[in-house]
Amino acid sequence: MLKDIKRSLILKKLITLFAVVLFSFNSFAIAQSEVSGSDAEKPLEENLTVEQVLEVTENDIFLGDENAPVTIVEYASMSCPHCAQFHNDTFDDLKTKYIDTGKVKFVFRDFPLDEPALRGAMLSRCAGKEGSESYLKYLKVLFSTQQNWAPKKNYIEVLSNIAKLGGMKGEEFEACMADKEVETRIMTGKYYAAKFLEIRSTPSFYINGVLHRGAQNMKYLSEAIDGVLKGVNADISVEGEENTEGEAEEPTEEGVSEE
């Protein structure tokens, strides 16, 4: 009886992982053989540790002291309401209390749940080539105006207008949307997050290697960060409210997850 239950649980986990991984690439019709660019030519790694995936690289955009004692890696979807809630209501307080004071290095990573989220992520990443301040400017605007573009059928047109207001020329926006290297880098990062970090919903945060799910408030984050600073890196993720709206679901017939 116990063996049957264990087999059932293992099978369920494997099915869930397969669905998320399949969603990561097929939902946006992005196959490795169909993209170009230096990143696209690199084979996908299939045996990575959590530490390797969380390692901050030159492709990452982060705020804070590079040598801060606490590193927070956020996985967010630009179309996720709970992600917008975190960035609109909590992030500035977190930045003032912990990032600006050298206690936290905050790493931004994308986990797009649909096509609009992918395109929004690409826009902010293209802007990020000019530096973290430019990236953060677009990130703030995209999250604060999320309902004006993410659910809309003409989201590309709206994103183009946002880009123009931010100083990006029309041809630069078009080049950004066609940049397969940026697109592949985002989707590869999502693949690794789903496979090796068990990211299933957004937002999700790794605080010094410990997973915390959901759009947590400042009180929760302060307790988690202060605990790490005191040398207590306990996994308290079960106390947080997990975001069900920003969850990666099994692909629909069109290959795009519905939120």
Q: What is the pTM of this model?
A: 0.77
The pLDDT value recorded for residue 46 is: 86
First to last CA, the chain: 36
Third-level CATH fold of 2-239: Glutaredoxin (3.40.30)
Average pLDDT, the chain: 82
68 in Cβ contact with 104 (< 8 Å): yes
The better pLDDT of the pair 96, 258 is held by: 96
Q: What is the per-residue pLDDT for 247?
A: 57
List the Cα angle 216/249/220 in 5-degree steps: 10
Strand partners of residue 207:
72, 210
Confidence check: pLDDT of 259 > 50: no
Q: Nearest-CA neighbor of 110 among 143, 58, 75, 60?
A: 75
Planar angle of CA 231, 234, 54, nearest 5 degrees: 90
Per-residue confidence (pLDDT) for residue 129, from 0 to 100 = 86
pLDDT of 223 higher than 50: yes
Q: Report how far residue 97's alpha carbon sits from residue 95's, in angstroms, rounded to the nearest whole number.
A: 6
List pLDDT tens digits, range 227-242: 999 985 544 443 333 4
- Give the largest CA-CA distance in the chain: 64
What are the tens digits of pLDDT across the range 20-63?
434 443 434 333 333 334 455 677 888 999 999 999 999 999 99
Q: How high is the pLDDT of residue 32?
A: 33
Long-range contacts of the stretch 14-21 (C-beta < 8 A, 24+):
16/200, 17/194, 17/195, 19/248, 19/249, 19/250, 19/251, 20/194, 20/200, 20/248, 21/191, 21/194, 21/195
Question: Could you report the per-residue pLDDT of 114-132, keeping only the tens digit for each?
Answer: 999 999 999 999 998 888 8
Q: What is the mean pLDDT of residues 161-176?
A: 96
Residue 132's pLDDT is 84
Could you give the strand order of the β-sheet that contains 70-76, starting from the edge strand earlier in sequence? 61-63, 104-110, 70-76, 204-207, 210-213
Tell whether the model's pLDDT for residue 246 goes beyond 70.
no
